[in-house]
Chain A
């Protein structure tokens, strides 16, 4: 019987169907971080249980650590130190691999995971973090879980799951120059809604996806959860193999050929049947930005704030009306007229080397507009060093950006450092929820190129306005 990519990985990981309709699925890798790692490990230990296979469990420090130079266990977030130290203690006691604050491999969990070769094509990987879906960009079946499910995976190397459905998003044509994976995913969610992928594993396929580099595929899959998908995935190909080769936790030399042979079977069969299918004409897309408080509130940078009155569905309309009030916007306002207070480049969505290069190309020889606070936070300490080796940091600094240590930073507000009260922020992150980046902060999501261009223009704008 023809199978989808997801079916193949699912079947290979099926330990047994369970009486109650769930399936017991083998979990190959578990990744933790200091925000939710300690609670899972401590609660496991309290129940008298142990980590069953510590060699495949990893942990990093990213969510709560400061990103200012000279950082330590002492954090701007009140009580953040407790999270860091409890996680360190619990990780040591459990014997798992920890990328601690001073480790050169430290960084945002979903940046470190592919960078180290911990996430690989065809593996199952879970993490108590919703953006674990990022790793679908490598062809891994990876998804976010809660703390209790993390404990389950730690204790048993398995999870009990009701099988999600198959949804394929066929991305026809090619993205125009300057239009990125971030613009594509914002468009998809804007068009089909924040619950458009509910209950499904979303496979991104088609010429536009084949043309994307691995890092861009990670960006795309990162936001599958904002589409309410169980996870997102892209079939691995020669680019994936080249990306993985030589990474620290990649298959050892003696297993490499066998691994690659297996990976080459990981694609949906030509006649595989999907429960649902969506088609996007990628050639018609342009730079995207959100205007509201849900990722589905997206439009083009060249567009206008939509009018809720034109929307038939009551629930959608009232959510739009609330979003307009929160964002302090009027229907019909061109996005390009909105002045910004701050610009943020970072997060597991868009903080890899290719993202920083894109932003630097816009910033080179230019200055951030007066009064705009601009911050760049590389996704990992290795990304930071690689960027510095090519001089990118100097481009950011010369333009007026702060150049930070790696971490989640102001992708989310945990009570420590934040964007200011009601500030309008253009951000390369993935969530524009109320107060996500600071007290009543108004976040507009966009690609790193759009963030960089907006920082220079002092208002929402796109790179083509500067580069042409």
Chain B
């Protein structure tokens, strides 16, 4: 997984609440079994003038010249709610988004971000809105801070486990396998306590 240490980039404001993963990548845009080839479908319902068309809708924020090359997304509460599709994160990352800043996130989406090197930052609504006019932003994950173009510094919180995983680009499976002996011991105890769970 790609680590996240520092990043500077243009922040695009998509300031609406409840942006769901169907909106981030519609099901009809998930055409292949794999994880790639999804960037084109990112926000397809809003980004193009009509369904099936690839003509950019000039009103959509990512199509506006000021936000060309944006790599940070600002949004409203409950960003990434809805379907568990990790394709939403893969599409954002493939498009070039490295960080999403919002007052809250859908839980599954948030987890998917952490596992793909996409930094989800939680800030209150007013703070998120204040960033819209202060781009580009510089984000430093080690110090957990955002520095705006006008020199403000905004601290943010992140779960220690998520902080570590992103900073070091850790692979969860590899980490967990270090606890294999503990898992095996738990399974032995559990099989005795709840034999009906085990089918062999």
Contacts and interface: CB of A to CB of B under 8 A. Distances in A.
Most chain A CB inside 10 Å of its own CB: which residue of B27, B45, B165, B179:
B27
Contact of B176 (A156, A322, A412): A156
Contacts of A354: none
A413 B76 CA distance: 25
Contacts of A155: 173, 177
A198 B116 contact: no
Contacts of B193: 12
Contacts of B17: 315-316, 319
A73 interface: no
Contact of A42 (B33, B76, B116, B175): B33
A116 interface: no
Contacts of B20: 431, 433
B112 interface: yes
B16 interface: yes
B176 A20 contact: no
Nearest to B115: A148
Contacts of B164: 20
A123 interface: yes
A226 B31 CA distance: 25
Contact of A158 (B27, B35, B183): B183
Contact of A315 (B51, B125, B180): B125
A126 to B, nearest CB: 10
Contact of B33 (A26, A83, A123): A83
Interface residues of A, number: 80
A33 to B, nearest CB: 11
A413 B33 contact: no
A152 interface: yes
Interface string B3-35: 000000000000111101011001111111111
A21 interface: yes
Contacts, number: 192
B63 interface: no
B176 A315 contact: no
A434 B27 contact: no
A434 B196 contact: no
B182 interface: yes
Interface in A28-57: 28, 36, 38-39, 42-43, 47, 49, 55-56
Interface in A383-434: 412-415, 431, 433-434
Interface stretch (B66-74, B100-108, B130-138, B141-149): B100-108
B84 A129 contact: yes
28 contacts: A12-B194, A15-B186, A21-B160, A24-B183, A26-B187, A42-B33, A82-B32, A83-B33, A123-B197, A145-B84, A146-B111, A146-B112, A148-B116, A155-B177, A158-B176, A164-B107, A195-B18, A251-B196, A255-B196, A412-B27, A415-B31, A433-B20, A433-B22, A434-B22, A434-B45, A435-B26, A435-B51, A436-B22
Interface of B: 15-18, 20, 22-23, 26-35, 45, 51, 76-78, 81-86, 89, 104, 106-108, 111-112, 115-116, 125, 159-161, 164-165, 172-173, 175-177, 179-180, 182-183, 186-187, 190, 193-197, 199-200
Given A255-B195, A319-B16, 11 more contacts: A15-B183, A21-B161, A24-B176, A24-B183, A26-B183, A146-B84, A152-B173, A251-B196, A262-B194, A315-B76, A415-B27
Listed from nearest, the 7 A-B pairs whose CB atoms lie closest are: A251-B196, A415-B28, A20-B161, A255-B196, A146-B86, A146-B112, A148-B115
